[in-house]
Amino acid sequence: MDAQDKKIATDLSYEIIKEVSRAIRPYVGKPESGEKVKMGADGTPTSFIDIVAEEKVVNILKNAPVLSYLVSEEIGELKLGKGTQKSITLTHELRRDDLEEEEIPKFIFLVDPIDGTSNAIKEIPAYGISMAVANVPRGRVATLDDVELGFISNFANGNFFEAEKGKGCWLNNEAVKPSTNINISNMTLGGFTKSGTSDASKLVDNARRMRVLGSVVLELSYVASGRYDAFIDLRGSRILDISASKLILEEAGGIITDRYGEKLNSKLSIHEKAVIVAANNEILHKQIIDILTDNQTDFIGKIGIVSRIDQDRPILFAAKIIDYLLTNGREVVVEKRLAKKLQDMKKNPKLDKILEKTKKDYPNTAELFDDINFNIDFRQLSKGIYDFNCDMIVVLGGDGTLLRAQSKMKPETPLLGINMGTVGFLTDIEVEDTFDALNDVLKGNYYKEKRTKLVVSHENHHYSAMNEVVIMTNKPAKMLHFQIKVDGEIIEEVRADGIIVSTPSGSTAYAMSAGGPIVDPKVGGFIIIPICPYKLGARPFIVSDNSEIAVKLLKKGKSAVFVMDGQINDEAEYEEEIKFKKSEKDVYFIRTSTKYFYKKVKDKLSEGGVQKNNWC
């Protein structure tokens, strides 16, 4: 958008704001203005006063000398200008390649004609208009990154915010800056939470004061101008509402992201929403994100090391990591089996050849195996994994190694997985990124991801599983007859090769291969999946993780084997029940990126879990 186009867009915006202000003035404070006349394009009720305001917006852009796209709360998405008006779907329109040059609009206007409609009807002085102007991209959808201009006017008190991308933000023609507060206990917080959100309650409890004015647009601008220190909307704000205020806040020097601290770059559409977390500066913002993600990071001082020991490469890499952690002043303990392998390897006369072969087999990471220090007494560092008392355990291997480690260690010790297996879905770090990740973790730049576990009860025995429990026949090619109950209610009786009871973590493992859904680990549920059922109607169930699941064998003379995470197994006989409940103890993973789960689904499962290049 060049300077001339910006002037055209700014002049149109000024005219719209002035005319809407005039048009709604007679209706402010009048109960009849709140009469619901229809449902808006965004699915929310439209009041009479909203229609009055939006008609002004549409008429001005319709009669403008240039073509524009309009995204507005009540009427939806239009193409306007030069006396014409046409309903469109913006995302489809922008991908069209059959438009002549003169048919392509200059601007995308995103307008909420009245944000805080209820306040206007009741004459509470917190209502106004929000306008953003974005570039029109060619051949792709428009996103928040395309917004170039932002305007917000508080009709109740006349305050007028405007911003230009890369140039700054002004309130009533004077540059504004956010507050400098970095202390949550002194924070003025605005926003909307969701019922039952304990992390949000913790955030509110920590704040000095909480404000809820009923206008996302104005409250975000208050963060930009220092009236608020932070603002959250955990319900999800419409992109329409935040497109102008996001630019205003960022140009003032504030920060706005999703609840995980990731950049907002949603597409521009009447239907788009985003959970938002805004703050005056990065220090306060990070504290808010940490509370919302339950990430009260601790100093990592003592670190345990566990590794697969059936290959030379992970053993060698374990030595490199141990040396790195000791050099960085951390206390290290090493699993006994690994410590013995390291001691044997340091005495091996063929150590140089083993190193040379490892580098040759994995050339992309060869430099990581330079300068490995074997001048360490690994025996002095060794302990049984049951006796680890650590702030974190580093696990080198695949998912099997990680599952074995978590089943034996003290509950709720966080794990950092380095992928040296086949798939490594649960591991966070690839080999080549190890030391960058460890550097971040040692500096406290990490968060803890919580995963649910199952407690499995059979007779007087109790086991735990993080991924899944598989119940199957101990005789190949034989089916079993199962009864499945949830909270005492029979939900299915089925003949099948077996039954899988899976946590969300296990939904990407055997459960997925058996036809179950992929479930986000944040979902509070368990999955019950019959394996090859002899019944058309037998389908997977997702049940609450507050429920108790019971599986019983119904056919006399048959027995079954049940296996927890591929590690532990037991047998059940006819009429015996196997019960499943959520464990009181969770599993915690150290994560260095918030884009863990869906990125893993895309990267790891698209190729069936097989690396394209075995040297990576």
In tens, the pLDDT along 574-597 reads 888 999 999 998 999 888 876 667
- Residue count of the chain, please give it: 616
Give me the residues paired with residue 331 across strands: 302
If one looks up domain 454-585 in CATH, what number appears? 2.60.200.30
Q: What is the pLDDT of residue 382?
A: 94
Closest alpha carbon to 126 in 87, 151, 83, 157:
157
Whether the CB-CB separation of 152 and 129 falls below 8 Å is answered with yes
The conformation of residue 220, written as its DSSP 8-state character, comes to H
Does domain 184-292 bear CATH number 3.40.190.80? yes
Question: Tens digit of pLDDT for each residue in 432-490?
Answer: 999 999 998 988 888 888 899 999 999 889 999 999 999 998 777 788 999 999 999 99
In 182-315, the DSSP E strands lie at 188-192, 209-211, 230-238, 255-257, 273-279, 302-307
Tokens of 10: 């700014």
The domain locations on the chain are 3-165, 184-292, 302-450+593-605, 454-585
Residue 186: CB atoms within 10 A of its CB come to 13
Q: What is the pLDDT of residue 613?
A: 41
130 contacts: CB under 8 Å, gap ≥ 6? 110, 111, 112, 115, 151, 152, 217, 240, 241, 243, 244, 245
Does domain 3-165 bear CATH number 3.30.505.50? no
Whether the CB-CB separation of 482 and 494 falls below 8 Å is answered with yes
Task: Walk along the chain (616 residues) in steps of 10 and give the mean pLDDT of each run.
Answer: 94 96 93 81 80 94 96 91 94 88 93 92 93 93 95 95 96 95 89 68 81 92 95 91 96 93 90 93 88 73 94 94 92 95 94 94 91 92 92 92 88 90 76 92 85 92 92 82 94 93 91 90 92 89 94 86 88 90 91 72 63 42
Closest alpha carbon to 244 in 176, 150, 163:
150
| Gyration radius of the chain's alpha carbons | 30
Q: What is the pLDDT of residue 78?
A: 95
Q: Is the Cα dihedral 47, 53, 57, 58 positive or negative?
A: positive
At which residue do the structure tokens 């306008």 appear? 131
Helical residues (DSSP H) of 443-576, grouped into ranges: 510-513
Tokens of 49: 């006063």
pTM above threshold 0.85: no
CA 447 to chain centre: 12
DSSP-derived pairing of the beta strands 382-383 and 331-335: parallel
Active site residues: 399
239 contacts: CB under 8 Å, gap ≥ 6? 110, 144, 266, 267, 268, 269, 272, 273, 274
Question: Tens digit of pLDDT for each residue in 427-437?
Answer: 778 899 999 99
If one looks up domain 302-450+593-605 in CATH, what number appears? 3.40.50.10330
